Structure 1
Amino acid sequence: MNERELEFAAAAIRDADSVAALTGAGVSTASGIPDFRSEDGLWSEYDPNDFHVRRFRADPEGFWRDRLTLAEDLFGDAVDPNPAHEALAELESAGHLDGLITQNVDGLHQDAGSDDPIEIHGNGRRVVCTGCKRRFEADPVFERVRDGEAPPTCDDCEDLLKPDVVLFGEQLPEHALFRAQSLTESADAFLAVGSSLTVEPAASLPRVAAENGATLVIVNLDRTELSGQAEYDFRTDVTKALPRLVEEVLAE
């Protein structure tokens, strides 16, 4: 990682009136959470069609049994935030990050201290009632499925519970998408971290920011779809680069 470029990128973030960040799977893999789309990702082991909203509606019992298995593979033992999560929370706490958008559903940004991240794909630690729309912690519901209650239903209205994530075939939550777009359009600097920037509509956010004149800073292990448009493109381990970048932002 070029230290001189790092200093310039940090200065752009430090001097910006509004800074937005987008995170992808590469931020959470260092915490032991597998990704979905890589060659060895979860979709190489599972059929995505099993997690389509059509399957949930037609076969909620089978859907929930498969969802339990997927969740156990996804979260496994207790997982903790890593230095990349913590660096972004520190940047926000210091007043140099106005909003965090994440494609991840693991809740690790909240665990690290980020305040109200915009979860455009939902949160796998919650479930939502398809009837009354109340939200509940997922772990007790998974335990009910383990005990044979499939599909689980709402204790209040008895309608089906659904993972509070965006299933295949569903639209992204409108409010979250609106917040993400508004944050992006107002950003003077945009930090894209741990994302290949291939999955829409998240992939379009840093592009829109750059087209609006924002300084685009990408931190990812590999080249991304927008590397050519980034003013600063750091191809390195996010758990090492993010703390170093934030340290430099806060140095002055």
Structure 2
Amino acid sequence: MPRLASCDNTRYGISAESGIATFRDAQTGLWQDFGPKDLASPEGWLADSDLVWGWYRWRAALVRRSEPNAGHCAVAQWQQRAQVDIATQNVDDLHERAGSAVLAHVHGSLFEPYCSECGVRAELDDPDILDDILDDDILIDADQRVPPPDCPRCGGLIRPGAVWFGESLPEQEWEAAENAVRAADLVLVVGTSGVVYPFAGLPAVARSAGATVVEINPVETEVSDMADHRWRTTAAVGLPLLVAQL
């Protein structure tokens, strides 16, 4: 039962080859004057929710303009032929758009906003929320602040679905990811720097449970010593070659 753990924590993550900037890369250019906690923390949200919503709205628009790359497509093909569980740090939807079912978005998703007050998941068929998140024509300036939609249930503000600094991972997603690597025969660690915990601890969990761990990354990382095999290539190059041999 092969399981795939994918993440986009460095410039070599699987979605980077679709042109999607990682969180820190996305703070360059128009948004270089803002610190990580201005844009991705409960404190930043309380201080300026319009700024935070506008920035995530911009990120969602960039994702919607991007397409799954060969790495995403290879995983989707593999999943049609074998039991492949995908646990990802990515907050985009490129795995799904390539045709994969994702077991766990452990750092949340740009496309699963929820109420900051009552916690109820927003329905994307609500026209106000849908227009805010899925509008492909969004163009945002550096200092543009966009008021978040109101929760139709309690009137609170709808917040982005990504996990922020200082927040716990969604319990159900994390348990699913951890259980998958414990049960796996093979775990691929694709594109991660291995510095963001607890996700970075999954290769060690897999090794202790008896799985073979393979790292696909063009550079040495903090989890390289946990891998049984290390392949110095990118996801969009390596994954199609791997799946073609199966």
Q: TM-score range by the shorter chain?
A: 0.7 to 0.9
Q: 2:95 aligns with which of 100, 106, 109?
A: 109
CA gap 1:168/1:139 in 2 versus in 1, 3 angstroms: farther
Among 23, 27, 37, which residue is 1:49 paired with? 37
Unaligned runs of 5+ residues in structure 2 are none
Distance 1:213 1:177 in 2: 20
Give matches, 1:130-145, under 5 Å. 130=116, 131=118, 133-137=120-124, 139-142=130-133
Conserved 8 A contact 2:190-2:216? yes
Retained in 1: the 8 A contact 2:53–2:148?
Answer: no
- Tell me, in whole angstroms, the C-alpha distance in 1 between the residues paired with 2:131 and 2:49: 17
* 1:1-252 map, 5 Å: 18-25=1-8, 26-37=13-24, 41-43=25-27, 45=32, 46-50=34-38, 51-56=40-45, 58-59=46-47, 62-73=48-59, 75-76=61-62, 78-97=65-84, 99-130=85-116, 131=118, 133-137=120-124, 139-142=130-133, 150-249=147-246
* Offset of residue 152 of structure 1: 2.2
Q: Secondary structure at the match of 2:215?
A: strand
2: CA distance, partners of 1:124 / 1:159 = 18
**Structure 2: distance between partners of 1:159 and 1:216:** 44
TM-aligned CA distance change 1:34 to 1:70, over 3 Å: same
Query: Taking structure 1 as the reference length, what is the TM-score of the superposition?
Result: 0.81
Larger radius of gyration, structure 1 or 2? 1
SS in 2 for 1:200: coil
Give the drift of 1:43: 4.6
Partner of 1:124, secondary structure, is coil
Kindly provide the amino acid, as one letter, of the partner of residue 42 in structure 1. Answer: A
User: 2-side partners of 1:218 and 1:74: how far apart?
Assistant: 28
| CA deviation map 1:37-78 (0-9, x unaligned) | 4xxx2356331111211222x33xx22323323542564261
Distance in 1 separating the partners of 2:168 and 2:119: 19
Q: What residue identity is the alignment partner of 1:150?
A: P
- Cα deviation for residue 211 of structure 1 reads 2.0
Cα distance in 2 for residues equivalent to 1:84 and 1:149: 34
Q: Paired residues, what number?
A: 224
Q: How far has the Cα of 1:187 moved from its partner?
A: 1.0
